[in-house]
Structure 1
Amino acid sequence: MTNKCSKETLMRDYPVKSTLLKLAVPSMIGMLASALYNLVDTIFVGMLNSTNSMAAVSVSFPFFVILMAIGTMIGVGAASYVGRLLGANKKALADRASGLALLLSIAFSVGIMIIGFLFMNQIMTLMGASQEVLPYAKSYSNWLLIGAIFTISNLVFNSLLRTEGASKMSMFTIIIGAVANIILDPIFMWNFGLGLAGAAIATVISQAISTVLMLSFYLRKKSLIVINLNTLLTRTPEDFSIVKQIFSIGFPVFMTQFLAAIAFTVLNATAAVFGAPALAAMGIVNKIYTIITQMVGGYTNAFLPFASYNIGAKLYLRVKESIFFSLGITFLYSIGIIGIINLVPEFFIQLFTKDPEVIQLGVNCLKMQTYLLVGYSFIFVMTAVFQAMGESKKPTFISIARQGLLLIPFTLILPRIFQQGVPTFIEKLGSYPMESGLYGLMLAQPLADLITLCVCIIFCVATLKKLNGLSHSKSDAESLNL
C-alpha cells in the first residue's frame, strides 16, 4: 500500500477513536507549539525588565490574533472543502482548492502588510498604546507585519496537511519552528543587542523555517494533495465556487478570532481604568487562556477534516461516532484543566511576574475564565460539526454572538454594574479581594460563553437529527456495504 493510499484508508476505514487520537495528538502538540511563539516572546521580553516593552507585547497581541484569524479562516475553510472533495473522490478539484488556498494566503499577507505599514500609528493607538509605549509597539509589530506571510501560510499549510492525514508532518514543522524561536530569542535580543525588536525578528525567522519545511513536503511530492504552482496562474470555471466555499466555511472562524482581537482591545482599555496591575494581569491571563483553548482548537482542527472526509464519503455512522467521542474527550480535558487551575493558580501567573498585586489579580481572573471551559469546548466541537457539514450560517452566528454581540458589550457594561456591589457568591469565585468592578470585567467572557452555549445546544438539535436521518439512509447503508 502506498503512503497516499494509507492516508485515505486511515480516514475511511480505521477505527474512529484510534484514528481521531492519531490525528489529534500531533495537531494538539502543534497548536500548543504555535501558541508558544507569542508566549515565549512574552517571557523573554519580561527579562528585559522594561514595563514599556511588556506593554508593547500586550498591545500587539490583538494584531497577532488578527493574522492568525486570517490564516485560520483560509485554512479551516480549505480543510473542510478539500476533505469533502477527497472523501467524494474528486482529487483534481481538491488539488485546485488547495492551491487556491495558498494563493489567498499570499494575497492577504501582502494586503495586511500594506495596510499595516501605512496606518501603524493609528492601529497601535487604537489597540491601547500610549505615547510612551507606541515606539516599542511599532518596533515589535513592524516585524510581525514582515512575517505576516509566514504566520498566515503556516496555518493554511497545517490545515491542509491535517486534511490528508499528515498530522505528524504538521506537528514536526511547528515544533521545529517553536524550538528555533526559543533558541533565537536570546541571541537576537541580547547577543545582537536588538532587545524587543530582536524577539520579533526571531519569531519571523522561526516561522519562515516552518513554512519552508511544509512547502518542501509538497514540492517533493510527499503529499496526497498536489499543488501545481504553474497551473494556478491560469483561471478555471471552478475557481469562484472554490473560493466561495473556502470563505463560507472559514468566515465564522475568522469572525471568532477577529472579534476576539477587538475584544482584547476593549478589554485592555477597560482594564487600564483599574490601573497598570489590572492591565498586566488581564494580559497574562489572556495568553494562558489562549494556550488552554488552543489545545481544544488543536483537537477540533484534526476532527474537522476527519468529519468532512467521511461526510463526503457518506459514512455518516463514522461521523456520529466521532462527534460523541470528541465531545467526551474535550469534556475530560476541560474538567482536568479546571481542576489544575483551581489547585495551583499562582504557579501559572508567577511564570510571568513577581508583582504580588498582579499575581493576586491574575489568579482571580484565571480561575473565573476557566469555569466555563466545558461549555467552550462543546461550542468548538459542534461548530466544527456545522462546518464539516457545510452549514455556514450557524457557526457564523455563534462566532458573532459570542465575541461581538455578547463579550464586547459585557466587557463595557458589567464593570459598571458590579461597581454598585458584588454578591457574596461571586466574591467567592476568586481567591483574593479586589475592586468590585473587576469582577464584572473578569466574568464577561464566562457569561458570554454560557449564553452562547445555550444557543449552540439549540442549533445542535436540528443538525444531529439531520445526521441521524442520513445515517439510516439507503445511501449510507450501501456505502458501508450493509
Structure 2
Amino acid sequence: MNETLTTKNKENPLGYEPIGKLLIKFSVPSIIALVVNALYNIVDQIFIGRGVGFLGNGATNVILPLTMVVIALGLLVGDGCAAYLSLHLGKGDKEAAAKGVGNAITLSIILGIVLAVFSIVLLEPLCHLFGATENILPYALDYGKIIIIGFPFSVINCALSGIIRADGSPRYSMMGMIMGCIVNIILNPIFIFGLHWGVAGSALATIIGQILNSGYYLLYLRKFKSINVQKAYFKLKSGIIIKVCSLGISSFITQIAVVAMIAISNNVMVKYGAMSVYGADIPITTMGITMKVNQMIMAIVLGIATGAQPILGYNYGAGNMERTKKTFKIIVVAATICMGLAFIGFQCLPNAILSIFGTESELYTEFAVKCLRIFLLFCILNGFQMCTGIFFQAIGKPVQATLVSVSRQIVFIIPATLILPVFIGVDGALWAGPVADGLAFVLAAVILKMQWKKIFAVAPKAETHEIFNRKEQVLTPE
C-alpha cells in the first residue's frame, strides 16, 4: 500500500508542486475558459442590443434558462467526472479514472441530443413559461429555434472542458473556448449588420463557434496524459454513471436552480413591471442584462474554484490534509478580492457598464442602473459561498456541496423574489438579490464550521509528507 502511495504521488505534481504555482497553471486557464464561455451570451447581447434593440435582448433573456439547462447538464457530467478522475488518480487507480471519462463523454452526447429534441418540440410553451411578452415572443422564437441546434455541442463542450482541466491540460481547455468565442465575435456583426439576419444571425454565429469548440475538444481523446481511454470504456455502466453524477449533482442543482430563479424572476418582472411606469418589457430585459454581467464576474470566481478542484481532490484523496486546507483558504481570499472589485464597479460605474449594451430611453436607463446597484449589492459575499460548494464537491461530499450550492438559488432567492414585490412592487425583485446573498453566506459559513474538523480528522501519513517534498515531475499541466 505504501509503495503504491509513493509511486502515484511521484507521478503527479498535484501532490508536491507549490500550491500557488499550481493554482496559476490551473485556475488562470479555467478563468479564461469560463469567462469566454460567458462571453457567448454577452456578445450576443451586445450586438443584438445595438443591431436589433432592447426587445431582441429581451428575447435572449427568455431563451437564457434553456441555455442554462445545457450548462447544468454539462456540469453534472463534467464536474462530476473531473472530481471522479482526480479522486481516483489520487488513489492510484487509473483504470477506474479512464472508465469514468469514457462513460461521461457518452452520457454528455446523449443528454445533449435529448435536450435539443425536447426544446425544439416545446419551444413556444417554454418561451411563455420563461416570461416572454407579446412584443418579445417573435424574437425569442427566431433566436431559440436556431440556438437549440447547438445544444448537443454545448453539453459536450461544458463536460469536456472540466475533464480536460482535471487531466492536467487547462490550456487546451482554454484554447477550445477561445476558438469558439472568437468565431462568434467575428460572425455576429457580419450576420446582424452585414446580412441583416437579426437575432437569428446572432444565434447562428453562436452555434458555429460551439461546433468548432466541440471538434477541438474531441481531438483530445487521443491526448490524455494521465489515463488511456479505450473504446470499451465508452459503454455506459450504471455504477460509474451514478458515482459521476453524484459528484456533479451540486453543480447541476445550482444551475437548475438558476433556471428556476430566472423563470420566476422574468415572470415577476413582467407582472409587476406592467403595474409600474416602466412597463413589462424594460424590467425583464434589464434584469437579464444584470444577470449576464454578474455571470461574467462569477465566471472568474468559478474559474478560481474549479481550477483548484483537481488540487483539492487529489490531495484529499492522497491524504495530505494540510495542502487541501491551504488550497481552500487561498481560493477563498482570491475569490473575495475579485467580488470586492466587482462590487465597486457595480456601485460606482453602472452607466459605463450598461452603455456597452446600447442606449435606450430614460426610463430604461433609470431602471437598469437601479437593477445593477440593488440586485448585486451583496455580491462580495458570493466568492466564499461558491468556493465552499466547490470544496465540498472536490473532496467527495455531495450532500454538503448541494446544500451550500442551492441555498442562494432555491432556498432564499426564489421565496424573496415572490414575496418582496407583493409589498414594494417591482423593486422587490431587485432586493431579493442581496437578501439571498447574505443568507447564503451565513449558511455556507455554518455548514463549513460544522464539517471542518470531521473532514480533516484523519491525519496524513508520514510517507505522504515525504513524497510531497520531492521535485520529480512526470505529468505537468500545460
Q: Structure 1 length as normaliser, TM-score?
A: 0.89
Of all paired residues, the percent bearing the same amino acid is 27
Match runs of 1:1-400 below 5 Å = 9-219=12-222, 221=223, 223-228=225-230, 230-232=231-233, 234=235, 239-272=237-270, 273-274=272-273, 275=279, 276-355=281-360, 356-400=362-406
Whole-angstrom distance in 2 between the partners of 1:287 and 1:234: 37
1:108 Cα deviation from its structure 2 partner: 0.5
Q: Aligned letter for 1:25?
A: V
CA distance in 1, matches of 2:235, 2:36: 36
SS at match of 1:390: coil
Shift of 1:52: 3.6
Q: Which amino acid aligns with 2:104?
A: A
1:468 pairs, out of 436, 456, 460, with 456
Q: Which moved more, 1:376-385 or 1:241-250?
A: 241-250
Residue type of the partner of 1:386?
A: F
Determine which of 388, 392, 411 is the counterpart of 1:405: 411
Secondary structure of the structure 2 residue equivalent to 1:165:
coil
| Letter aligned with residue 408 of structure 2 | R
Amino acid at match of 2:244: I
Q: Report the alpha carbon displacement of residue 222 of structure 1 after superposing the two structures with TM.
A: 5.2
Q: Is the 8 A contact 1:470 1:476 kept in 2?
A: no
Amino acid at match of 2:328: I
Letter in 2 for 1:248: S
Change (3 A) 1:183 1:38: same
What are the ranges of 5 or more consecutive residues in structure 2 without an aligned counterpart? 1-7, 274-278, 471-478
1:225 alignment partner AA: I
- Classify 1:8/1:66 alpha carbon distance in 2 versus 1 (closer, same or farther; 3 Å): farther
1:72 and 1:380 mapped to 2: Cα distance?
A: 14
The 2-side partners of 1:60 and 1:157 are apart by: 24
Structure 1 unaligned spans of 5+: 420-436
Amino acid at match of 1:243: I
The C-alpha deviation readout for 1:163-211, integer Å capped at 9, x for no partner, is 1221111111111111110011122334444221111111111011111
C-alpha separation between the residues in 1 aligned to 2:138 and 2:11?
Answer: 51
Structure 1 residues 430-449: Cα deviation after superposition (integer angstroms, max 9, x where no partner) = xxxxxxx3432111022112
- Conservation of the 8 A alpha-carbon contact between 1:314 and 1:479: no
CA drift at 1:6: 11
The size of the alignment, in residue pairs, is 455
Q: Deviations over 1:410-437 (max 9, x none)?
A: 10111122x2xxxxxxxxxxxxxxxxx3
Structure 1 vs Structure 2 CA RMSD = 2.2
Shift of 1:126: 0.6
Aligned position for 1:428 = none
Does the residue aligned with 2:52 lie in a helix, a strand or coil?
Answer: coil
The offset of 1:255, in angstroms, is 1.1
Shift of 1:15: 0.3
Which stretch has the larger CA shift, 159-168 or 44-53? Answer: 44-53
Alignment partner, residue 5 of structure 2:
none
Deviations, residues 316-351 of structure 1 (Å, cap 9, x unaligned): 211111011111111111212212322212110111
Q: Please tell me whether the aligned partners of residues 217 and 223 of structure 1 are also in contact (alpha carbons under 8 angstroms).
A: no
In the TM superposition, residue 284 of structure 1 has moved relative to its aligned partner by 1.3
Q: 1:98: how far off?
A: 0.6
SS at match of 2:356: coil
Deviates more, 1:278-287 or 1:352-361: 352-361
